[in-house]
Amino acid sequence: MESVRGFLERYLEELYRIHQRGDPREESYYPALKTLVEELGRELGHPRVEVTVLPKKTEAGNPDFRVWDGKGKIVGYVEAKTPGTGLERVAQSEQLRRYRETFDNVVLTDFLHFVLFREGVEVARAELADAVALTLGHVPPPKDVEGTAELFARFFDYRLPERLGPKALAGRLARLTRFLRDQVIEEELRQGRESPLYGFFETFKEVLVADLDERKFADLFAQTLSYGLFAARIRAGGEFNRRLAYDLIPHTLGVLRDVFKFISMADLPPHLE
């Protein structure tokens, strides 16, 4: 626990230093939090944990941090707000509602307080310091070292169940499909003809549904992707990723194969990736 205390003390020192400059934005604190999460991962038995900080311009609705286990699997997400932001209010916002419905393992933080949500439900919280402490003349000491370590231990230990029942699987696919529609495909279509998806929109409109609009297309395309990935995954014997999906789509599903030729082989924009 002393190692964890040391990490937290250095983290608070860095937050204090950033705050004292007088001009920080939320993003100014990102590197400190990234370092802390990776250090805690190593200390808590997950030596290969890596954190991806998602730039604002490519977020497309994603949380600010994506945490990996170092073996190609996502552990969970972290959504950060400026120090002093009321997390109770944020937790009830439309943005967090989407995240809680879509992602099974999410930490909400203002860099000083941490709230862990598991499958949409709060399961743990911890407080390192009050935001007012950053305005004082000294670095605040960490308050709840044990609680913070315990919260992140639960976060890192999360694993998707190897088997889901039909109802749970259907619910999870539905949540992910809605997120894909609302936060990825619709965001991409706002770029108009510059979007690589716009050609699919025009083709679907010409060949499949004459009165198709962008909202209906986003819904149709999201369902197509979800069904295609599901169909490909159950045919895969072992490793699976989007680049393998095209080869696993049945040849009888011509339209689906055309979509997955793009998904599997194209260099996608970051938010589609």
Instruction: Report, as an integer, the average pLDDT of 89-115.
Output: 93
pLDDT digits (tens, 9 = 90+) for 105-149: 999 999 999 999 998 999 999 999 999 989 888 999 999 999 999
Same domain for 92 and 216, yes or no, is: no
The answer on pLDDT for 91 being more than 70 is yes
Q: For residues 15 and 148, state if they share a domain.
A: yes
Q: Are residues 176 and 147 in the same domain?
A: no
Q: Position 58: which residue type?
A: T
The parent domain of residue 56 ranges over 2-157
pTM for the model? 0.70
Residue ranges of alpha helices (H) inside 44-190 are 87-91, 94-102, 145-157, 166-179, 186-189
273 in a structural domain:
no
Query: Count of domains in the chain?
Result: 2
Picking from 157, 188, 208, the residue at the C-terminal end of a domain is 157
- Domain-ending residue, one of 102, 129, 157: 157
- Report the C-alpha gap between 5 and 150 in whole angstroms: 12
- pLDDT surpasses 60 at 266: no
Q: 211: Cβ–Cβ under 8 A, 6 or more apart, which residues?
A: none
Question: What is the per-residue pLDDT for 55?
Answer: 45
Beta partners for 80? 109
Residue 110 and residue 31 share a domain: yes
